[in-house]
Chain A
Amino acid sequence: NAGVTQTPKFRILKIGQSMTLQCAQDMNHNYMYWYRQDPGMGLKLIYYSVGAGITDKGEVPNGYNVSRSTTEYFPLRLELAAPSQTSVYFCASSDRQTGLGEKLFFGSGTQLSVL
């Protein structure tokens, strides 16, 4: 059982470049999330989705875009990368319907550096 899979694990971008962080889950969870973690800080919510075709902004959405065309996939797009986007990015999912929506299952993260 793979759970939540993120690719790539590491990436270095130049300022102004774009990229997509991939996230897939095989647990048929309806909720999916993107978080970023900066050094010494907690996780900050970037975007979330409550189901296919439905996305909404979290606490720090600027500079990012998401889409959710299927239950399984929730890619995060960075347009015009900036040094402030250097961070570790985590994708997560949860099963709201069981009443355990706050029990998130996380991927192993993508470490992104923008130079």
Chain B
Amino acid sequence: DQQVKQNSPSLSVQEGRISILNCDYTNSMFDYFLWYKKYPAEGPTFLISISSIKDKNEDGRFTVFLNKSAKHLSLHIVPSQPGDSAVYFCAASAGGAQKLVFGQGTRLTINP
């Protein structure tokens, strides 16, 4: 029962272009969504989040879009940089951090 799914295990993007990472969820009770970024041999680090009362949140080069009717969120990175190469996890919660559910992750590679 995978409540949060990232269907693309990997994504390769040219430097300077837009990277779009996708995430689907099944639980309509989720009310808070986050993206974490993970480099090899390090723990995940928080990147950006969005509440279910919004449909978009921006932070510099990173924008998260939420489509509640489709139960879908996406992370846009513009422009993509080599340092963005990492594994990205989406996560969702319904009622607190102890209920956080993670997707499987998408490995993003930015090519020069």
Instruction: Evaluate contact between A40 and B9: CB separation under 8 angstroms.
Output: yes
How many interface residues does B have (CB within 8 Å)?
24
Instruction: Evaluate contact between A94 and B97: CB separation under 8 angstroms.
Output: yes
**Cβ contacts under 8 Å, B46 to chain A:** 103-105
B21 is an interface residue with CB less than 8 A from chain A? no
A61 is an interface residue with CB less than 8 A from chain B? no
Instruction: Evaluate contact between B104 and A42: CB separation under 8 angstroms.
Output: yes
* Contact pick for B44, options A31, A50, A56, A90, CB 8 Å: A90
Query: Chain A 89-115, CB within 8 Å of chain B: the 1/0 string?
Result: 010101010000111111111000000
Query: Chain B 37-50, CB within 8 Å of chain A: the 1/0 string?
Result: 00001111110010
A51 is an interface residue with CB less than 8 A from chain B? no
Enumerate the 3 nearest inter-chain pairs by beta-carbon distance, A residue then B residue, closest first. A106-B43, A42-B102, A101-B97
Supply 16 further A-B pairs (C-beta < 8 A) apart from A42-B102, A45-B100.
Answer: A31-B97, A42-B4, A42-B104, A43-B44, A43-B89, A43-B102, A44-B102, A90-B44, A92-B43, A94-B97, A96-B97, A101-B96, A101-B97, A102-B49, A102-B91, A103-B34
